Structure 1
């Protein structure tokens, strides 16, 4: 994943993001998001097929980005 491959959050059309992209938008490490998934945090991930998917709407709300 490179910074060029990241879609700006305002233009994101997917409903959920993988951990690496969510971490980029939230300016946190992937490990921090994995900790949030286990212990709770400001964004709660969905579990899809054993993977974490972070809801875009929740990330936008946390960051104050218009939907």
Structure 2
């Protein structure tokens, strides 16, 4: 059951669910605990972050 709980929380956070909502559903006192415990970096999320960072480094055309 713990694996299902962890997976559901991680997927909800990766999908953009508000951490306060996820934290409340899990019964956590703080959102910090939820973020530290249930944040999994999925490949798609990591790729999107890398692409957004790379986009900021591209020269601006004039």
Same fold (TM over 0.5): no
Higher relative contact order (CA 8 A, sep 6+): 1
Instruction: Give the TM-score, by structure 1 length.
Output: 0.29
Instruction: Give the TM-score, by structure 2 length.
Output: 0.31
Q: Which structure: larger Rg?
A: 2
